[in-house]
């Protein structure tokens, strides 16, 4: 079941407040731990809170700090986006959302207001945010002053656009509809939306919610309140510009009209007040005086002598400009407007099938992690407890850049290996801001631990023909020294390979860190961060042609790695055929490996042989393996050999733009990981994070 909903409007003035109130009320019937979150709010200040957030927090008395309910002011987000720092925006939104999520059982997210000129951009941002938060979208449209077709079309377009971006759709609500069009709108939506599970509701308009108060009008027009300041909650159902003589305009008065007239028209002011008091005319909401004109002293004296005077406002603009500007006023359901809140909840309860909505929420299952969410989890998980990682290739610009970022984020402790003068020079040359007082730079040969490490290596390898002199030469090498730091417990993990070969990085680990007792083969996985999910690929880097038993072991190790990093393992043993359809040496190896893995770990979902398309595409799986519990939803994909795996991961990476994190070594007693020599700075950072998390797991297991 999903733990969040993302309200996404297709344009401005769709009535988010009403829907937010209704959904929050619905959620609070099940749990008190409901949160409200807006990724980006309009520019404001600490003294002027976002109206939607303030409404929910205040009315329902949610015990949440206001500063925890949003990530950015729009000016902050726009500045970062203008610098091309799109990922930074998403990362901070995810960070703030996840922090709030930890406090709550359910989080209601509210998207952009669409008040600027960049609606298309805002729509795309809403889609990306909802997708990265894993929140299904409730699409909200409006039908105010529109035909049925005009109301349905933008909703239909928005839903298709969301689906094209791989977003989940919870349902659709059209707000502010003509009461006579409600049934036709529902029928039209059902026609346009073929998904039978799509939730649909239509809420009719109500003049109390669509009409601004005199306080809102005064605020919008920067008007001066001349009289009736105690009645500013009066609502204006209609704007009536008056320039006629008394006998001609009085028949046009209607209930709760706001009379707009030049400030020197004492005849209209006084006759309007008299009509308001008369039983023969409807009551008016107030009077708005234009042209920077106010009543004469004599008229003012007359007005001041009356009790319960309706609001009279004054503005500097002329009548035409005032009437034009007043048409753009946006009404809000304020936290202090109990009548509007009560009406909103009543309308929601009456026109929204809350049981159907609740059932729809319960049926929605969250998709796998998006890449940004996965990377966020890596950072958060690696921070506590903080681990110590050694980096042997400390003059490489990518290593130093990554080290600077990791230290700034306070994710790990680092040790750099190399000649101290050379490393310090490389840091200065590349303009890195690494605080050398906080980062040990260790020259292996001149280290106080050097001879201790030499002796340890000699004792471990003398049976293999290693002499003390050979041990001394070997331990001068950064990869061997760094690996020995890990072996001796002076570091928790090592990352290398930006300069060194895979063999040079792995060999020391195989020689004396060795594999875990129940593991006979070291293998590797890549975390393939696709657009909408993260998959585990194994083994794409180490074993050229594993036996069936080794392949089974790789599958089990890969499933455990996926589980350790928050990925629910559904393991597909890949081959060129699915099920029992194929024959031959290669497919038989995969079939036997599947049987061995299933026998060793009956608690894991492991199936094979299965083709790649049947493993990841539900439609193909329905045809080729209809009874499979893995087909179409595999998260861990095991390749039969290195040739297949390595080519596949690189093809997927290049053709889809996926982020490939790895190779991540698995099966060792302590974590050592290899970088590709073509690694980027992000690759180094991600590999260090994963190594730190592996070290946390090993430390936890050791304590047991």
User: Is the pLDDT score of 119 beyond 60?
Assistant: no
430 domain-assigned = yes
pLDDT of residue 44: 61
Rg (CA), the chain: 34
45 domain-assigned = yes
- Domain co-membership, 131 together with 247: no
Q: In what order do the strands lie in the sheet with 534-538?
A: 605-610, 570-574, 636-638, 534-538, 523-529, 659-666
Distance, CA of 245 to CA of 148 (rounded, Å): 40
> Where are any strands of DSSP class E within 517-623?
523-529, 534-538, 570-574, 605-610
Average pLDDT rounded to a whole number, residues 362-384 = 77
Residue range of the domain that includes 634? 518-667
Cα–Cα–Cα angle for 15, 21, 23, rounded to 5 degrees: 100
- Domain co-membership, 362 together with 433: no
296 domain-assigned = yes
Q: Following DSSP, what letter does each residue of 422-465 receive, concatenated?
A: HHHHHHHHTT----TTTS-EE-GGGSTTHHHHHHHHHHHHGGGT
Distance, CA of 248 to CA of 210 (rounded, Å): 28
- Domain co-membership, 278 together with 174: no
Average pLDDT rounded to a whole number, residues 103-129 = 76
pLDDT of residue 43: 67
Task: Report pLDDT digits (tens) over 581-590.
Answer: 767 788 999 9
Distance, CA of 556 to CA of 540 (rounded, Å): 15
Nearest to 138 by CA among 31, 50, 41, 27: 27
Distance, CA of 661 to CA of 645 (rounded, Å): 14
Task: Report pLDDT digits (tens) over 260-303.
Answer: 999 999 999 999 999 998 889 999 999 999 999 988 898 888 88
Q: What residues contact 617, with CB distance under 8 A and at least 6 apart?
A: 632
- Domain co-membership, 166 together with 193: yes
As to burial, measured by CB atoms within 10 angstroms (0-12 exposed, 13-18 middle, 19+ buried), residue 416 is: buried
Distance of CA 580 to the CA centre of its chain: 41
Structural domains of the chain, count: 4
Taking every pair of C-alpha atoms in the chain, what is the biggest distance, in angstroms?
117
Residues 632-655 as b/e (b if ≥16 CB within 10 A, e otherwise) read bbbbbbbbbbbebbbebbeebbee
- Domain co-membership, 474 together with 602: no
Average pLDDT rounded to a whole number, residues 24-35 = 88
Q: What residues contact 196, with CB distance under 8 A and at least 6 apart?
A: none
Please provide residue 584's backbone torsions phi and psi, each rounded to the nearest 5 degrees.
130, 165
- Domain co-membership, 308 together with 345: no
Distance of CA 273 to the CA centre of its chain: 54
Task: Report pLDDT digits (tens) over 634-661.
Answer: 999 999 999 999 999 999 988 888 888 8
Q: CA dist 448 to 392, 442, 479, 579, 695, Å?
A: 17, 10, 17, 59, 25
Distance, CA of 245 to CA of 238 (rounded, Å): 20
331 domain-assigned = no
pTM of the entire structure?
A: 0.69
332 domain-assigned = no
Distance, CA of 449 to CA of 568 (rounded, Å): 42
Residues 426-465 as b/e (b if ≥16 CB within 10 A, e otherwise) read bbeeeeeebeeeebebbbbeebebbeebbebbbebbeeee
3-state per-residue secondary structure call for 493-523? EEEECCCCCHHHHHHHHHHHHCECCCCCCCE
Distance, CA of 328 to CA of 320 (rounded, Å): 14
Average pLDDT rounded to a whole number, residues 99-106 = 89
Q: Percent of the chain, pLDDT > 90?
A: 43
- Domain co-membership, 322 together with 341: no
Please provide residue 533's backbone torsions phi and psi, each rounded to the nearest 5 degrees.
-165, 170
pLDDT of residue 627: 86
- 306 band by pLDDT with thresholds 50, 70 and 90: confident
Token pair belonging to 436: 């050398």
> Where are any strands of DSSP class E within 61-195?
70-73, 106-110, 137-142, 169-177
- Domain co-membership, 27 together with 172: yes
56 domain-assigned = yes
- Domain co-membership, 41 together with 116: yes
Task: Report pLDDT digits (tens) over 466-495.
Answer: 899 999 999 999 999 999 999 999 999 999
Q: Which CATH number is 304's domain given? A: 3.40.1390.20
598 domain-assigned = yes
Which is it for strands 312-314 and 224-227: parallel, antiparallel or unpaired? antiparallel
Nearest to 137 by CA among 121, 155, 120: 155
- 558 band by pLDDT with thresholds 50, 70 and 90: very high
Please provide residue 552's backbone torsions phi and psi, each rounded to the nearest 5 degrees.
-60, -40
CA dihedral 600, 605, 607, 611 (to 10 degrees): -140
- Domain co-membership, 362 together with 445: no
381 domain-assigned = yes
As to burial, measured by CB atoms within 10 angstroms (0-12 exposed, 13-18 middle, 19+ buried), residue 100 is: buried
Task: Report pLDDT digits (tens) over 609-626.
Answer: 999 999 999 899 888 888
Tell me which range, 376-380, 382-386, 504-508, 588-592, is most confidently predicted by mean pLDDT.
588-592
Which is it for strands 169-177 and 137-142: parallel, antiparallel or unpaired? parallel
- Domain co-membership, 383 together with 498: yes
Token pair belonging to 212: 């601004």
User: Is the pLDDT score of 117 beyond 50?
Assistant: no
- Domain co-membership, 188 together with 290: no
pLDDT of residue 128: 87
Q: Which CATH number is 658's domain given? A: 3.40.50.10750
């Amino acid at each position: 079941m999903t733990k969040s909903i993302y309200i996404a409007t297709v344009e401005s003035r769709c009535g988010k407040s009403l829907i937010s109130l209704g959904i929050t009320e619905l959620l609070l019937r099940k749990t008190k731990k409901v949160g409200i979150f807006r990724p980006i709010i309009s520019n404001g200040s600490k003294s002027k809170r976002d109206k939607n957030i303030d409404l929910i927090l205040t009315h329902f008395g949610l015990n949440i700090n206001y500063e925890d309910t949003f990530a950015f002011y729009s000016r902050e987000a726009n500045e970062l986006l203008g610098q091309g720092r799109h990922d930074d925006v998403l990362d901070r939104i995810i960070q703030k959302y996840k922090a709030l999520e930890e406090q709550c059982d359910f989080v209601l997210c509210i998207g952009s207001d669409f008040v600027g000129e960049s609606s298309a951009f805002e729509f795309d941002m809403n889609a990306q945010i909802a997708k990265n938060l894993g929140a299904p979208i409730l699409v909200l449209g409006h039908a105010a002053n529109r035909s049925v077709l005009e109301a349905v079309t933008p909703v239909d377009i928005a839903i298709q656009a969301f689906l094209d971006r791989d977003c989940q759709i919870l349902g659709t609500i059209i707000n502010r509809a003509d009461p006579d069009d409600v049934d036709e709108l529902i029928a039209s939506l059902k026609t346009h939306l073929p998904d039978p599970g799509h939730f649909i509701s239509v809420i009719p308009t109500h003049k109390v919610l669509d009409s601004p108060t005199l306080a809102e009008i005064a605020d919008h027009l920067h008007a001066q309140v001349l009289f009736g300041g105690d009645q500013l909650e009066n609502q204006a159902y209609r704007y009536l510009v008056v320039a006629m003589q008394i006998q001609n305009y009085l028949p046009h008065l209607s209930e709760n009209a706001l009379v707009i007239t030049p400030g020197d028209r004492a005849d209209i002011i006084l006759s309007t007040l008299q009509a308001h008091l008369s039983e023969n005319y409807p009551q008016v909401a107030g009077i708005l005086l234009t042209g920077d004109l106010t009543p004469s002293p004599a008229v003012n004296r007359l007005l001041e002598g009356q009790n319960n005077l309706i609001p009279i406002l004054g503005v500097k603009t002329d009548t035409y400009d005032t009437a034009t500007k007043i048409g753009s006023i946006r009404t809000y359901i304020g936290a202090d407007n109990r009548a509007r809140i009560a009406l909103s909840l009543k309308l929601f309860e009456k026109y929204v099938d809350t049981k159907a909505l609740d059932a729809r929420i319960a049926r929605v299952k969250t998709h796998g992690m998006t890449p940004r969410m996965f990377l966020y989890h890596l950072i958060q998980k690696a921070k506590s407890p903080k681990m110590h990682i050694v980096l042997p290739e400390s003059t490489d610009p990518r290593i130093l850049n990554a080290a600077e970022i990791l230290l700034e984020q306070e994710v790990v402790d680092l040790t750099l290996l190399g000649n101290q003068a050379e490393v310090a020079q490389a840091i200065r040359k590349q303009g890195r801001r690494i605080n050398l007082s906080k980062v040990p730079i260790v020259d292996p040969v001149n280290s106080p631990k050097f001879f201790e490490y030499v002796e340890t290596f000699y004792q471990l390898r003398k049976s293999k023909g290693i002499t003390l002199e050979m041990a001394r030469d070997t331990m001068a090498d950064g990869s061997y020294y760094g690996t020995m730091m890990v072996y001796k417990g002076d570091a928790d993990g090592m990352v290398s390979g930006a300069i060194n070969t895979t063999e040079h990085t792995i060999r020391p680990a195989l020689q004396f860190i060795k594999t875990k007792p129940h593991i006979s083969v070291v293998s590797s996985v890549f975390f393939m961060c696709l657009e909408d999910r993260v998959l585990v690929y194994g083994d794409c880097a180490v074993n050229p042609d594993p036996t069936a038993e080794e392949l089974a072991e790789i599958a089990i190790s890969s499933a455990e790695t996926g589980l350790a990093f928050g990925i629910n393992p559904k393991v597909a043993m890949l081959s060129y055929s699915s099920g029992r359809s194929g024959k031959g040496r290669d497919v038989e190896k995969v079939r036997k490996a599947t049987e061995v893995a299933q026998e060793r770990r009956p608690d894991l979902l492991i199936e094979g042989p299965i083709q790649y398309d049947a493993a990841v595409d539900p439609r193909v799986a329905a045809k080729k393996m209809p009874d499979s519990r893995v087909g179409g939803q595999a998260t861990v994909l095991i390749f039969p050999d290195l040739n297949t795996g390595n080519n596949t991961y690189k093809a997927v990476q290049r053709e889809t733009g996926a982020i490939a994190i790895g190779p991540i070594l698995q099966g060792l007693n302590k974590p050592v990981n290899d970088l590709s020599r073509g690694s980027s700075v992000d690759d180094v950072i991600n590999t260090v994070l994963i190594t730190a998390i592996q070290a946390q797991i090993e430390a936890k297991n050791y304590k047991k």
